Amino acid sequence: MNRDDQDKKQIEEHKKNPMGNFSDSINRSMVGDLGALTKGGCLTKIITVVIIIGGLLILSRCSY
C-alpha cells in the first residue's frame, strides 16, 4: 500500500467520523506532533534546528 492509498483511506475515515478527526486534532495540539516539525522545506528545518539549539543553550546557562 503506497502513501496515496493511505492518504485516501485517511480522508475517507475523516469524512465518515468527523468527531474522531476533531478529537485527534485536539490531542495533537495538546501533546504535539514532532513529525510536523520536520515536514516542510529547508527553511523550516533550519528554523527548527536553530530553535532547538537555542533552547538547549538557554537551559545550559540556567543550570549553573
Q: Are residues 47 and 25 in the same domain?
A: no
57 vs 2 pLDDT, higher one: 57
Q: Are residues 1 and 28 in the same domain?
A: yes
Q: Are residues 10 and 25 in the same domain?
A: yes
**Three-state secondary structure call for residue 2:** coil
Can you tell me the mean pLDDT for 34-46? 74
Number of domains in the chain: 2
pLDDT in tens, 16-38: 887 877 877 777 776 666 666 66
Q: Are residues 19 and 40 in the same domain?
A: no
- For residues 17 and 12, give the distance between their C-alpha atoms in angstroms, rounded to a whole number: 9
- DSSP H helical ranges for the chain: 3-16, 18-31, 34-38, 42-62
- Choose among 31, 30, 11, 32: nearest CA to 21: 11
32 vs 59 pLDDT, higher one: 59
**Domain assignment of residue 47, given as a range:** 36-64
